[in-house]
Structure 1
């Protein structure tokens, strides 16, 4: 829920700033700024909640803690790449692929009632899945329309 709030809030603020400065609503650029803020916010969570996020990774995958740090690095790199014209499209496609790859971890968290912030099994369960899957789809569409189809 928090990443979605960051995404929308920062996008709206950027829209208003661009309207005041340039006289137009620069929707794609504002949406990329919002996505950047969200990616940096979620990357921070990877460092703050490493244990809980490692628990979300399917059991057959080794080096879970290292993978959590790697995904934080991927998010930070994508946040930068979305603003580099030469790399924007490639970054966007890789980010879409990344969002798809993250879905199994979120599904596991739901079925095991994982609370990634506490590293316990007292999470929201399936209710989280009903929010997470649509928000994951929204993130994919958001990246597509703000960075690929401009």
Structure 2
């Protein structure tokens, strides 16, 4: 739930900044969305180091090097935060974010099924009714703001056609 709050609050803040300081320019919602996703990954990446004891419980005990995995995934999330802000890397980063979200989802399922006292998982399997749509939402968000190619506007399409004739 905290990740969703960070994502949406950062998105709203990025839009507000654009409205206040860049009034003459149209709002680039994809950029604001990438900033928000970067803020969320900064938050979650840092959490891997500050809340490592709770996060390690989200992995089954038979998994070796659980703390190491938590720290490495935290570092990966911090790289995502920066990659989403760099023009030349945000599309690749978005693809990697989607793959990452898919790969870590089983740990959320494990934690919910075992009522791990971390991140809402204490509510048990019922938490998956929130977590599954959230995961789909985050994947869709990453796709829309970082991976998908922006559609051309009608004016730019007409301009392209007139240049080719």
Conserved 8 A contact 1:14-1:33: yes
Aligned residues: 146
Instruction: Pick which of 13-22 and 26-35 moved more.
Output: 13-22
- What is the CA-CA distance between 1:87 and the residue it aligns to? 1.2
TM-score, length-scaled by structure 1? 0.91
Distance in 1, Cα, partners of 2:63 & 2:34: 31
Distance in 1, Cα, partners of 2:49 & 2:31: 28
Q: Where does residue 154 of structure 2 map in the other structure?
A: none
Q: Where does residue 4 of structure 1 map in the other structure?
A: 4
Structure possessing the higher radius of gyration over alpha carbons: 2
Structure 1 alignment gaps of length 5 or more? none
Structure 2 alignment gaps of length 5 or more? 151-165
Distance in 2, Cα, partners of 1:38 & 1:61: 26
Distance in 2, Cα, partners of 1:14 & 1:111: 36
State how 1:123-134 maps to structure 2 within 5 Å: 123-134=122-133
Q: CA RMSD of the aligned region, Å?
A: 1.5
Instruction: Pick which of 38-47 and 65-74 moved more.
Output: 38-47
Conserved 8 A contact 1:92-1:143: yes
